[in-house]
């Protein structure tokens, strides 16, 4: 017996067998059961999501000898002939090969005649957007007032190309791309029905490669079974798809987490031996980073992941902010990989860019908040302090007037009596291991007072949009690590009475800018050049030395 492709063998023959698209099926089933049938239906969506299949099932429902219903019998001659593609009153047209107006007119000449065998004469036009403008004009009148025995079913992957005059005459149903989990579940059922040996890790690879198309997924499954000699194994599926083994991407992520350029390039050299498609490697890397970010920030729903332990281990090594940065660089670099003459060099530059622009922070603690990297961030914080330490003493992380604390931070002397009541909030914010939006929130707050274990700060109304419980929690976590005691932060929104660190920095920057401009204007050399060449200083061109 001739082998039949899985995409054809497991093509749904009624609405109950359809996978997904419940929003479309519900409308059609209700219309059939309640006898509220429109004369023209338009099904849109990407390839392989069920447009033509639903149209054929609808044609079968209209012409079943048992009567019009949402559950055709599938056994009468009309149902069997529609399944076999030889029902005389189902006229299927490929618009891509019949674009001329003469073809459309020839087709419409027979609209007026009653169906030969069925209840309705059904015109199924696939890729209808390929028709010419003249063909659409010829179709308009018939489409608006067709004979009662005619139904039009249109399918297209590009509805934007259809004239609005056509769209307004049809009921439009937009079919969605299939989720990966749904494709994976359906492939598992097909494999069980076929009795094929399968490794569970191979199914997600095929489901993702299908890119939302169930037909593509079944075609890839057919190819993978043939490639594996009647079985479905992860290594063979990866080889067929051109994807790489997971441990290569894991090593790259570990190198990024450690900031170890040598280890990173060694991992890349080992990967290069397989001559991979680096665009696919970058997609795999982006997928890992997305899963790590989800595990760090929304762990609920990750319990059933097969690689949960691996993702958890990687999530503990990288700060959430770094994950977001790496993912953004990965996505922006995808276009460069397509244009670069040497994909290996382009991918290497992409990884080096992740290291170069990585903030000076250490690994994540518990996958939630980053801990400060003492080897790098402490000197950086010390340079930002306004009051430097003596050469013989350890460099303090904040100014000589420390923030409130019953226990002084490590590496600092004991605070002066009563100093905890009036902290140097400016120096504290600079010293705390904060970055991103959390740091901006702290910089735009002004310290007011301490009551018990609660610090009260005030935020100007124009910055209220950045105030969230998540960011306050990050600042509290940073304070707890810094002082080794539990502190709460209460943010009040209102007009400021004291200067915030951001306002102080802006004021000092403006003063430095003004001083630099005045210094240049007084410089004898500059004044001489202005007089000699009738020159003038360009506004905004002077920058103060940091």
Q: Write down all domains in the chain, each with its CATH number in brackets.
A: 6-174 (3.40.50.300), 180-241 (1.10.8.60), 246-370 (1.20.272.10)
Q: Sign of the CA dihedral 277, 283, 286, 287?
A: negative
Name 454's bridge partners. 451, 488
pLDDT, position 388:
38
pLDDT, position 360:
62
Give the three-class secondary structure for 232.
Answer: strand
Strands 369-370 and 364-365: antiparallel
The Cα 400–Cα 460 span in angstroms is 27
CA 230 from centre of chain: 35
pLDDT, position 546:
60
Number of Cβ atoms within 10 Å of the Cβ of 492: 11
pLDDT, position 422:
53
Q: Where are the alpha helices (DSSP H) in 368-413?
A: 377-383
Q: Which two tokens stand for residue 45?
A: 């969506």
pLDDT, position 417:
34
Nearest to 346 by CA among 335, 359, 355: 335
Running DSSP on this structure, what letter comes out for residue 464?
G
pLDDT, position 467:
86
pLDDT, position 423:
65
For the chain, 546 residues long, give each residue's pLDDT as a single digit of tens: 578 888 888 899 999 999 888 999 999 999 999 888 899 999 999 888 999 999 999 999 999 999 898 999 888 999 999 988 889 999 888 887 777 777 788 778 888 888 888 899 999 998 889 888 888 888 888 888 888 899 999 999 988 999 998 899 899 999 998 888 899 999 999 999 988 888 888 888 888 888 889 999 999 999 999 888 888 888 888 888 877 777 788 888 888 888 888 888 888 888 887 778 888 888 889 988 998 998 888 887 777 777 778 888 888 888 888 899 999 999 998 888 888 888 888 999 999 999 888 776 544 433 334 433 333 333 333 333 333 333 333 433 333 334 444 333 433 433 333 334 456 788 888 888 888 888 888 899 998 888 888 888 999 888 888 888 888 988 888 888 888 888 888 999 888 888 888 888 888 888 888 888 888 888 888 888 878 877 887 776 777 776
pLDDT, position 98:
74
pLDDT, position 84:
87
Number of Cβ atoms within 10 Å of the Cβ of 86: 9
Q: Whats the size of the chain, residue-wise?
A: 546
pLDDT, position 187:
92
């Amino acid at each position: 017996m001739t082998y039949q492709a899985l995409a054809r063998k497991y093509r749904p023959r009624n609405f109950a067998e359809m996978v997904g698209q419940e929003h479309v099926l519900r409308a059609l089933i209700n219309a059939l059961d309640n006898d509220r049938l429109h004369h023209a239906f338009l099904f849109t969506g990407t390839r392989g999501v069920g447009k033509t299949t639903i149209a054929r099932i609808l044609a079968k429902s209209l012409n079943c000898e048992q009567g019009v219903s949402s559950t055709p019998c599938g056994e009468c001659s009309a149902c069997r002939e529609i399944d076999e593609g030889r029902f005389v009153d189902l006229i299927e047209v490929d618009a891509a090969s019949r674009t001329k107006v003469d073809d459309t007119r020839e087709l419409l000449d027979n609209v007026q005649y009653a169906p030969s065998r069925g209840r309705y004469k059904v015109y199924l036009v696939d890729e209808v957007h390929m028709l010419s403008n003249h063909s659409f004009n010829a179709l308009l009148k018939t489409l608006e007032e067709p004979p009662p025995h005619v139904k039009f079913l249109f399918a297209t992957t590009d509805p934007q190309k259809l004239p609005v005059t056509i769209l307004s005459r049809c009921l439009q149903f937009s079919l969605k791309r299939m989720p990966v989990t749904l494709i994976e579940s359906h492939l598992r059922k097909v494999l069980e029905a076929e009795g094929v040996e399968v490794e569970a890790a191979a199914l997600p690879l095929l489901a993702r490669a299908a890119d939302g198309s169930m037909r593509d997924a079944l075609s890839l499954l057919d190819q993978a079974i043939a490639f594996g000699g009647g079985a479905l194994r992860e290594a063979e599926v990866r080889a067929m798809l051109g994807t790489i083994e997971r441990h290569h991407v894991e090593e790259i992520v570990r190198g990024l987490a450690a900031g170890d350029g040598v280890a990173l390039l060694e991992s890349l050299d080992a990967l290069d031996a397989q001559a991979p498609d680096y665009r696919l490697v970058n997609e795999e890397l982006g997928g890992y980073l997305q899963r790590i970010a989800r595990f760090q920030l929304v762990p609920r729903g990750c319990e059933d992941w097969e690689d949960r332990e691996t993702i958890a281990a990687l999530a503990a090594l990288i700060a959430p902010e770094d994950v977001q940065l790496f993912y953004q660089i990965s996505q922006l670099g995808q276009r460069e990989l397509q244009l670069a003459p040497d994909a290996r060099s382009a991918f290497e530059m992409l990884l080096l860019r992740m290291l170069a622009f990585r903030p000076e922070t250490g690994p994540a603690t518990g996958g939630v908040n980053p801990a400060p990297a003492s080897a790098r961030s402490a000197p950086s914080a010390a340079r930002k302090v306004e009051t430097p330490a003596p050469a013989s003493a350890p460099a303090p992380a904040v100014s000589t007037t420390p923030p409130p604390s019953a226990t002084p931070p490590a590496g600092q002397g004991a605070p002066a009596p009563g100093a905890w009541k009036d902290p140097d909030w400016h120096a504290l914010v600079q010293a705390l291991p904060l970055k991103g939006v959390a740091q901006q929130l702290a910089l735009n707050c002004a310290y007011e007072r301490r009551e018990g274990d609660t610090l009260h700060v005030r935020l100007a109304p124009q910055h209220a949009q950045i105030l969230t419980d998540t960011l306050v929690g990050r600042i509290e976590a940073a304070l707890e690590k810094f002082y080794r005691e539990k502190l709460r932060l209460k943010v009040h929104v209102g007009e400021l009475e004291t200067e915030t660190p951001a306002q102080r920095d802006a004021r000092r920057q403006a003063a430095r800018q003004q001083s630099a401009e005045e210094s240049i204007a007084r410089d004898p050399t500059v004044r001489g050049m202005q007089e000699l060449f009738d020159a003038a200083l360009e506004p905004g061109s002077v920058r103060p030395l940091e």
